Structure 1
Amino acid sequence: MKKVLFALTLLLSGISAYSQSIPYTNCEKCWLPDTLGNHRVVLTFSGSGKIAKAIIPWRRRDNDPENKRIIIQDGATSQKITNVKTGNINRETGEIYFEPTSGKGTYYVYYLPSKNEGRSNYPKGVYLKPEITASTDWLSALSSATAIPLANVKEFQSIDGFNTFYPMEVIATKAETDQLLSKHTGEDFLVFPEDRIYSIRMTDDLPQRWIERGPQSHFDGEAARNENFAFQLGLYALRDLQNVKVSFTNLTAAGGKVIAANKLFCINNNGVSYSGVPFSKTVDVTKGKIQALWCGIDVPEDAAPATYTGKAIISINGKTAKEITISLKVNSQLLKDGGVNEPWKMTRLRWLNSTMAQDNTVIAPYTPLVVKGNEISLLGRKVTVNKDGFPSQIQTFYTPEMTEYSKTPNNLLTEAIHFHFVKPDGKNMVLKSKGVQFTKTEPGTVQWAATSSNDTLKMEVTASLEFDGFIAYTVKVEALKDADLKDIDMHIPFKKDVAKYLMGLGQKGGYRPDNFEWKWDVAHKNQDGAWIGTVNAGLQYSLRDEKYVRPLNTNFYLQKPLLLPTSWANDNKGGITVAEKGEAILANNYSGERQMKKGDVLYYNFNLLITPFHTINTDFQWDNRFYHAYKPIDTIKAAGATIINIHHATAINPFINYPFIAWKKMQAYIDSAHDAGLKVKIYNTIRELSDHAYETFAMRSLGHEIYSPGKGGGFSWLQEHLGNDYIAAWFVPELKDAAIINSGQNRWHNYYVEGMNWLTQNVGIDGIYLDDVAFDRVTMKRVKRVLTKDGHPGIIDLHSANQYDKADGFNNSANLYMEHFPYLNRLWFGEYFDYEHNTPDFFLTEVSGIPFGLMGEMLQGGGNAWRGMVYGMTNRLPWSDGADPRPIWKVWDSFGMKGTKMIGYWVDTNPVKTDNDKVLATVYKKNGAVLVSIASWADADTTIQLKIDWKQLGIDPSKATITAPEIDKFQTARSFKLDEKIPVERAKGWLLIIK
């Protein structure tokens, strides 16, 4: 039993000693919290009789305690006492009567019992309602009793230290608060400086700790040299406060020593966005509320040991400012990296404002952008810019096999991308362009601008192209005088041979429909664009306006959906049609009829992604075999895997998206793996964050900047310590790890980048496993840079559960995450993907990654081994559902897959085809031999005959053999004659070696 006593002397810097007669303790594993809750009161009874009374000064932060069950247990027998009756129950005290069944001794009062309902990983914590279990006779005796002996409160206990309310959630009573207020009637607010170790947690109640200490005008702390030292200023509003700001003076010491004011900061007032843009925050505090202001001091490395003194000045609109004296003793210790290896001291708060890896340097395998006239060349692609600023042509230089670059370009467009401004009579309004000007030409980014206008409208276009093929357009349309418009639309005229497949706009990935129409419905659908293309040439586009905010995803889209773009949607008059028009497949992005008054401005912004991003690295697929579980190194190596993915909820990575608590164990495991020739990647993504994060309450002090607003609920810890206003997310029952949803793109991304850098440099991770993604390409680029710095491999694989459902807004995983594809090494789009009932074009576009320069793996139900192999996919150990990939890996090794050329069934010149268009063949070719993967989508068992171009294979048919090697649970060994009919079972196939 680990005791944490109110009576202890607090030796931490800046905290005065105080005492309380009743201690708080943590009693680990003393009871089962799943049945009794996380908190109890220990009573001692020395009286006699059948009735005892307890008055418990529990000072509870939860509301409506009278509506929550009380369970009393006999300490001697561990039996529940049924003769119990509550008296006056409120947040400050509880009056309880019970039968002391063992007479003198110890009794336990459990006062927050709850149960979890619903799905185990998304529990709904429900607090038990009061119950009546007392017998009529006992209640009658209670009602007539005149003198009832008291049971004394010995201590308050929590199931462990993580669940304790001590000391920052032990509330002050109303009388104590009123007495405090009576002493400060003329003031606007009170300040309670607080040590970093005790995060301010409550916003509606003062902690009893503050009543004991009272408001303070000084803060004392001690720090090492080069320490990122944090502290809090707890502000209690006695009136409504607007625009709370904290500024600092220099901290000075004897002999002229100085810590400059710019080394002090308050994360609640100022920050740097995830995209590197400085910003200021407005902090308002309602009367009666508490606001934690988290501050920091970056102690210089060369600071001389001394005591430095200065001021924190809290100013508020229309109120008298207050000054808090800061006295910081700097000792002689010198910390490495600011002390970030001790995050429980809040040394990583400065990471929230990090700009690490923001420079848009070119990331391998990409090459610097080259500008010649109006042409911009990038890896495997070229963009020609028209005089109005839009692309006149987009080209790719990939072969259909996607393993090589071609000298012959693939043109995507039949004519330039262009806007129409349609007058009421149906005629187009002509805008005259002043020509395009390139405003920035750097290896990673090229920017340009163009203005077109007439006497009615002006269109200002600014755009940037980045080295990976991402183009961002800002299109500002301003009315120079009143204008009636039948439509404003943008045409993207695709070449017919390019517009073979479509994904997005409510369409599952696959062959493009002949024509279809789509309308905006952001309340229900995470849809604002599509990918249209073929394997070696394509374009994703998305429609935005200036107010675009990335929505939530993965089960939470409906809680923070897309904002309807004012320009494109136009009160739901806008939409998109895709249909054949002349020589083109025209994507017509229209906004419909509208009126613009003089001075009105609309933003018709859009983004483009040119695909593929690079050639396919097939050798990476054959050489790198993932083992997705935390197992002994020897076990994994013996299985034939080369890369280990460490999920969360494991011994070395226990808490979701916060891999910093067990990092020493993680480092030891990674070192062992490296010694065995294996690489290790860890689960760490952004979407939700464990409640075990040390900075939880510091981030909660930022309002909704980092955590999404929500209705609360979920696991008991969240309800008991966060109260409300959050979205409960993933939960691991075994570890009691409860996560809450992040708000989207925010400063936590800066922390994330810094954290990935720290893990790479200090723990030795070889990359990350992403489980869906809630950040954009800006953060992805930064992460890739830090993961690959100093020669680290920086391997990233992305898993996604199929997003095409109601909770996710009917988006396609590949469409949703395409902006991240340039930086991935592998896809695992397997969960909830149906490998038995979808068509080959669906697998090609939504699952395989091939049209984007990637390869993937299967998951759901073990996948379909035969169909997977036509895309070079197997499943992943040990997530195989009985479909063990090792027999196929063995064939890869025996055949010698490394160095082969993959020629997919989608390549017109594929040298091996079948005579059945429902049975497809992909070739893996090397000198003198080919491995042919055959898979059937026929409705029934069938037979096929191979159609072989022997000359293209480079094999003499007179000497050729066709054999099927033995593959466990896949096929039996067999030889076929060159012209022999080959039987193919429904939904299965063959791996054949021709040599």
Structure 2
Amino acid sequence: MKKHFFALVFLLSAVGASAQKIPYTNCPGCWLPDSLGNHRVVLTFNGTGKAAKVIIPWRRRDTDPESKRIIIQDAKTGQKITNVKFGQITRESGEISFEPISGVGTYYVYYLPSKNEGRSNYPKGTYLKPEQTASAEWLGEVGSGKAIPAASVKAFQSIDAFNSFYPMEVIATKAETDALVSKHKSEPFIVFPEDRLNSIRMSKDLPQRWIELGEQTKYTGQAARGENFAFQLGIYALQNLQNVKVTFSSLTAPSGKTIPAAALFCINTGGTGYDGKPLIKTVDVNAGTIQALWCGVDVPVGASPATYTGKATISIDGKPAKVVQLAIKVSSKILKDGGVDEPWKMTRLKWLNSTMAQQNTVIAPYTPLEVNNNTISLLGRKVEVNKDGFPKQIQTHFTPEMTGYTTTPNNLLTEAIHFHFINAGGSKMNLKSQGVQFTKKEAGTVQWTATSTNDTLQMQVTASLEFDGFIAYTVKVKALQDVSLKDIAMHIPFKKDYAKYMMGLGQKGGYRPENFEWKWDVSHKNQDGAWVGNVNAGLQYSLRDEKYVRPLNTNFYLQKPLILPSSWGNDNKGGIKIADDGNAVLANNYSGERKLSKGDELYYNFTLLITPFHPINTDFQWATRFYHAYKPIDTIKAVGATVINIHHATAINPNINYPFIAWKSMKAYDDSAHAAGKKVKIYNTIRELSNHAYETFALRSLGHEIYSPGKGGGFSWLQEHIGDDYIAAWFVPEIKDAAIINSGMNRWHNYYVEGMNWLTQNVGIDGIYLDDVAFDRVTMKRVKRVLTKDGHPGIIDLHSANQYNKSDGFNNSANLYMEHFPYLNRLWFGEYFDYEKNDPDFFLTEVSGIPFGLMGEMLQGGGNKWRGMVYGMTNRMPWSDGADPRPIWKVWDDFGMKGTKMIGYWVDDVPVKTNRAKVLATVYKKDGAALVSIASWEDGDTDFQLKIDWKKLGIDPSKATITAPEIKSFQPGKTFGLNDKIPVEKGKGWLLIIK
């Protein structure tokens, strides 16, 4: 056993008595928590005999302690004591008799031993059940009625400070609580002001600390000038409380100088939403429970050193208010940036209400929107708005190769997108439009409205187009009189050339089926729309209503699924049919029959994304080589990588989605990388949040705003300190980092944006690595803005495991995350993507990113390097030898890939083809030479001949050579004649140089 190190903390009584109470101590490394739990009681025995008795006043916050095992250990020998008898075991105390096998000495009582079962990264922490190990002989002696010598409690001990229950999780006894309630029985609630360093953690038990302190009517704190100073007001409800509010007066110094009331805030009662809109929260507190109100004051830099006094008034509907006097002593010290470099002081709570980067300014490479009559132009695309407000035509101007622009437009539609209103008799109900009106014309956003009516229905359309090609429609249909309808449907008539591929609605990415039908099933499927298109022109659309909430994803969809839109879904009568319709491919989005009463309103909202977003940047692909591991800079430099991805669970980024604890080490590493000409990106997303976040309990005080409701469980720390009502997420056993699932769209996104800005400006990160995404495009745009501010590169790559499974709601990763694609630099799709058994159309649509202006890399099983190169994809370092991308990187460098033009097999007039339908060729062309990537999807080994358009290739065939350079683990070196049959193994291919 290691030598104990006790960090003693003594509790003194509220009246100032000097009597020492049982200390709470921490003893890092003194025992193995995986076998004995995180907590123990240290006992001292000075008696004699075969039995000792102790009553431990442990004041436990966990429920049902009598159902959990207790292990007693002899400190001298480390031996487990088997002769143990338990008396009454409650949350307040435990009565235990045991055999002191070493006589006088120290004994340990481990009272929360647990074991982790199931998957190591998603453990199911289980507390061991009580056991009976005492011998009948010993029990007989203990039960003989003889007096048993007493052992005494020396200390309560935790494995480390992070696991400690002291002081805010040491519960008051029932008697203490009852006495307090009796004293205040005529009052609706009691207020306990609390320091920011003592986060209020429990909602159902008062801490013993508050019993000793008693109700306080004054809070005193010390702050620096310029500090974002936080404090708590703990509300203990004696009655049911509705609509708890906190208002503040100005704070005034003796000199008459003031800190205005507007500088004080409470995050629990309101703030600013993730979308920049005002957020008003209703706080209700049930009788017998605790609500922490996290408050703060932004101390002005110009405040004079003095004590500023004022008051906080806590009001409740229909109940008397209470006033807490505030006294903030402001020192002469000035803190930089509000003191956010000391987050353990809760100085970053202000970030929850940040509006940083909310203004919809244009982000490179996009260009300002231009409006000419009813046509809006944006990068590579145009939208013509019809008089009813819907797109009359959507155009793209991207070449089939996706390497540039064309003056000849690609028209997506055969006619305007339009709605059909069909009455019960089957007749179409025509609505007359009053014309479209543009209400906003800005560089980043154009908005318009239109109203169409007849004597029965009114349709009000409000829409906005943003600079990246995202269109949001709010379509309100109102009944002007009672009406029975057979259907309300929206038709999207695609031109066949631009409905070649499809992805979504349960359809795996690939060629669009000739006839497709789909029905709503939100309980099981994260499906509300699809992408239909070709490589250089396409459209994603999603069907929603006014109650749309972004669901959870990545293993947790079923715990917070889509809400069925009452309009489109219509009690599951609605659906989608996509099929050939003459010259068009018609997407018929129908909602089925229904009756509307006069005044009823339905929202047929939908969103559109016009793809692709920009041409592919092939030079970035060839020059930017990711190294996905935390290794010494020299090691990474030696392999030729240019960008380092620092995952979580590493020394400089230990905690998942909270890269603020080891930031000084991260900065030192970043500085070293920059000196070596390398860039560094870090893992940081929002889907879940580490339990090591300093703000964990402040965020818990916000109810379900930040954290999703759930059944709890998981790693022992979560069960012991969070308690219940959460979803346990990713866990790293090596560092005991346990995450909790984020609820979706909330103010943590504001914190996230501020945090990314802080890391960029202060730590020097060059971008982020996203491992699936739990935020929407609003936050993505803000993040891209702060990452690229002041000339920073702001590189973002997105990894996703294949989301097409039960836990993820059978969605396609590319379809799910398409709204983020305009701001990504690379894809990495990912675990569970099968690179062997899927066809080229799947690779193209779901994996490569090319139809959206992106390129990617492979992951699962090392990918298929022959097929990958058809799309310009390799693996990412460092992986196994067979998946090592360096041999291919060397070919790129030797050939000189920079400046080449990529002409994929999907381009009709690609200059090099083969005579085999399932042996495909992509050309990387430059003056006088071409690198041709060949990959086979044939069922077995075969051979092929090249079919070359020498004129398009720009090479004289009489002087041409075809060479296969030797590439380790890829192909042997060889030279072929122009008409040779070239052998190719199943699932493999070639890289050929023609010059």
TM-score (normalizing by structure 1): 0.99
TM-superposed deviation, 1:9: 7.8
User: Which runs of at least 4 in structure 1 moved beyond 4 Å after TM superposition?
Assistant: 14-20
Q: Given residue 94 of structure 1, which amino acid in structure 2 is its aligned partner?
A: G
TM-superposed deviation, 1:15: 13
Which residue does 1:7 correspond to in 2? 10
TM-superposed deviation, 1:423: 1.4
TM-superposed deviation, 1:7: 2.1
Q: How big is each residue's C-alpha offset from its partner over 1:437-456, in whole Å with a ceiling of 9 and x where there is no partner?
A: 00000000000000000000
Q: How big is each residue's C-alpha offset from its partner over 1:956-985, in whole Å with a ceiling of 9 and x where there is no partner?
A: 111111000010000010000111000000
Structure 1: how far apart are the matches of 2:242 and 2:627? Answer: 54
Matches of residues 724-735 of structure 1 in structure 2 within 5 Å?
A: 724-735=724-735
Structure 1: how far apart are the matches of 2:798 and 2:135? Answer: 60
- Equivalent residue of 2:668, what SS? helix
Structure 2: how far apart are the matches of 1:17 and 1:107? Answer: 29
Structure 1: how far apart are the matches of 2:469 and 2:244? Answer: 43
Structure 2: how far apart are the matches of 1:887 and 1:542? Answer: 42
Contact 1:797–1:828, Cα closer than 8 Å, also in 2: yes
Which residue does 2:59 correspond to in 1? 59
User: CA 1:937–1:199 in 2, change beyond 3 Å: closer, same or farther?
Assistant: same
- Equivalent residue of 2:857, what SS? coil
- Equivalent residue of 1:749, what SS? helix
Which residue does 1:928 correspond to in 2? 928
Q: Given residue 913 of structure 1, which amino acid in structure 2 is its aligned partner?
A: K
Which residue does 2:642 correspond to in 1? 642
* Ranges in structure 1 where 5+ consecutive residues have no aligned partner: none
Structure 1: how far apart are the matches of 2:872 and 2:174? Answer: 68
Contact 1:8–1:17, Cα closer than 8 Å, also in 2: no
* Ranges in structure 2 where 5+ consecutive residues have no aligned partner: none
Which residue does 1:420 correspond to in 2? 420
Structure 2: how far apart are the matches of 1:250 and 1:486? Answer: 61
- Equivalent residue of 2:856, what SS? coil
User: CA 1:738–1:19 in 2, change beyond 3 Å: closer, same or farther?
Assistant: farther
Contact 1:72–1:109, Cα closer than 8 Å, also in 2: yes
Structure 2: how far apart are the matches of 1:188 and 1:105? Answer: 50
Structure 1: how far apart are the matches of 2:182 and 2:923? Answer: 85
Contact 1:6–1:20, Cα closer than 8 Å, also in 2: no
Contact 1:224–1:299, Cα closer than 8 Å, also in 2: yes
TM-superposed deviation, 1:182: 1.9
Q: How big is each residue's C-alpha offset from its partner over 1:143-167, in whole Å with a ceiling of 9 and x where there is no partner?
A: 1141101111000110000000000
Which residue does 1:390 correspond to in 2? 390
Which residue does 2:477 correspond to in 1? 477
Structure 1: how far apart are the matches of 2:121 and 2:20? Answer: 39
Which residue does 2:354 correspond to in 1? 354
Which residue does 1:607 correspond to in 2? 607
Which residue does 2:965 correspond to in 1? 965
- Equivalent residue of 1:426, what SS? coil
Which residue does 2:583 correspond to in 1? 583
Q: Given residue 580 of structure 1, which amino acid in structure 2 is its aligned partner?
A: D
Which residue does 2:549 correspond to in 1? 549
Matches of residues 543-942 of structure 1 in structure 2 within 5 Å?
A: 543-880=543-880, 882-942=882-942
Which residue does 1:50 correspond to in 2? 50
Which residue does 1:251 correspond to in 2? 251
Q: How big is each residue's C-alpha offset from its partner over 1:384-416, in whole Å with a ceiling of 9 and x where there is no partner?
A: 000000000000000000001000000000000
TM-superposed deviation, 1:882: 3.3
Structure 2: how far apart are the matches of 1:735 and 1:9? Answer: 34
Asked if 1:32 corresponds to 2:32, the answer is yes
Structure 1: how far apart are the matches of 2:668 and 2:364? Answer: 30
Q: Given residue 775 of structure 1, which amino acid in structure 2 is its aligned partner?
A: F
TM-superposed deviation, 1:8: 6.4
- Equivalent residue of 1:758, what SS? helix
Q: Given residue 354 of structure 2, which amino acid in structure 1 is its aligned partner?
A: S
Q: Given residue 7 of structure 1, which amino acid in structure 2 is its aligned partner?
A: F
Q: How big is each residue's C-alpha offset from its partner over 1:187-242, in whole Å with a ceiling of 9 and x where there is no partner?
A: 11111100000000001111000011001000000000000000000010111111
Which residue does 2:304 correspond to in 1? 304
- Equivalent residue of 1:448, what SS? strand
Which residue does 2:191 correspond to in 1? 191
Which residue does 2:284 correspond to in 1? 284
Structure 2: how far apart are the matches of 1:873 and 1:362? Answer: 29
- Equivalent residue of 2:392, what SS? strand
Contact 2:12–2:21, Cα closer than 8 Å, also in 1: no
Contact 1:60–1:91, Cα closer than 8 Å, also in 2: yes
Contact 1:859–1:880, Cα closer than 8 Å, also in 2: no
- Equivalent residue of 2:568, what SS? helix
Asked if 1:115 corresponds to 2:115, the answer is yes
Contact 1:7–1:19, Cα closer than 8 Å, also in 2: no
Contact 2:912–2:948, Cα closer than 8 Å, also in 1: yes
- Equivalent residue of 1:254, what SS? coil
- Equivalent residue of 2:143, what SS? helix
Matches of residues 115-194 of structure 1 in structure 2 within 5 Å?
A: 115-194=115-194
- Equivalent residue of 2:867, what SS? helix
Contact 2:9–2:25, Cα closer than 8 Å, also in 1: no
Contact 2:10–2:24, Cα closer than 8 Å, also in 1: no
Q: How big is each residue's C-alpha offset from its partner over 1:314-367, in whole Å with a ceiling of 9 and x where there is no partner?
A: 011111111100000000000000000000000000000000000000000000
Q: CA RMSD in A?
A: 1.2
Structure 1: how far apart are the matches of 2:959 and 2:145? Answer: 107
Structure 1: how far apart are the matches of 2:954 and 2:309? Answer: 82
- Equivalent residue of 1:255, what SS? coil
Q: How big is each residue's C-alpha offset from its partner over 1:62-82, in whole Å with a ceiling of 9 and x where there is no partner?
A: 000000000001100001111
Which residue does 1:466 correspond to in 2? 466
Matches of residues 262-281 of structure 1 in structure 2 within 5 Å?
A: 262-281=262-281
TM-superposed deviation, 1:19: 6.6
Which residue does 2:435 correspond to in 1? 435
Q: Given residue 83 of structure 1, which amino acid in structure 2 is its aligned partner?
A: N
Structure 1: how far apart are the matches of 2:276 and 2:879? Answer: 39
Q: Given residue 845 of structure 2, which amino acid in structure 1 is its aligned partner?
A: T
- Equivalent residue of 1:321, what SS? strand
Contact 1:16–1:213, Cα closer than 8 Å, also in 2: no
Contact 1:862–1:881, Cα closer than 8 Å, also in 2: no
Which residue does 1:339 correspond to in 2? 339
Structure 2: how far apart are the matches of 1:161 and 1:31? Answer: 14
Structure 1: how far apart are the matches of 2:139 and 2:726? Answer: 42
TM-score (normalizing by structure 2): 0.99
Q: Given residue 299 of structure 2, which amino acid in structure 1 is its aligned partner?
A: V
Matches of residues 448-527 of structure 1 in structure 2 within 5 Å?
A: 448-527=448-527
TM-superposed deviation, 1:881: 6.8
Residues matched between the structures, number: 992
Contact 1:858–1:875, Cα closer than 8 Å, also in 2: yes
TM-superposed deviation, 1:662: 0.3
Contact 2:41–2:156, Cα closer than 8 Å, also in 1: yes
Contact 2:11–2:21, Cα closer than 8 Å, also in 1: no
User: CA 1:843–1:15 in 2, change beyond 3 Å: closer, same or farther?
Assistant: farther
Which residue does 1:74 correspond to in 2? 74
User: CA 1:546–1:880 in 2, change beyond 3 Å: closer, same or farther?
Assistant: farther
Q: How big is each residue's C-alpha offset from its partner over 1:808-834, in whole Å with a ceiling of 9 and x where there is no partner?
A: 000000000000000000000111100
Contact 1:438–1:447, Cα closer than 8 Å, also in 2: yes
Structure 1: how far apart are the matches of 2:744 and 2:775? Answer: 7
Q: How big is each residue's C-alpha offset from its partner over 1:479-515, in whole Å with a ceiling of 9 and x where there is no partner?
A: 0001111100000000011100000000000000001
Q: Given residue 873 of structure 1, which amino acid in structure 2 is its aligned partner?
A: M
Which residue does 1:986 correspond to in 2? 986
Asked if 1:83 corresponds to 2:83, the answer is yes
Contact 2:526–2:561, Cα closer than 8 Å, also in 1: yes
Asked if 1:232 corresponds to 2:238, the answer is no
TM-superposed deviation, 1:179: 1.4
Contact 1:4–1:23, Cα closer than 8 Å, also in 2: no
Contact 2:936–2:984, Cα closer than 8 Å, also in 1: yes
Contact 2:630–2:647, Cα closer than 8 Å, also in 1: yes
Structure 1: how far apart are the matches of 2:489 and 2:178? Answer: 64
Contact 2:449–2:463, Cα closer than 8 Å, also in 1: yes
TM-superposed deviation, 1:5: 3.6
TM-superposed deviation, 1:878: 1.1
Structure 2: how far apart are the matches of 1:245 and 1:225? Answer: 27
Contact 2:12–2:20, Cα closer than 8 Å, also in 1: no
Contact 2:11–2:20, Cα closer than 8 Å, also in 1: no
Q: How big is each residue's C-alpha offset from its partner over 1:46-97, in whole Å with a ceiling of 9 and x where there is no partner?
A: 1111111111000000000000000001100001111111111000000011
Structure 2: how far apart are the matches of 1:891 and 1:564? Answer: 52
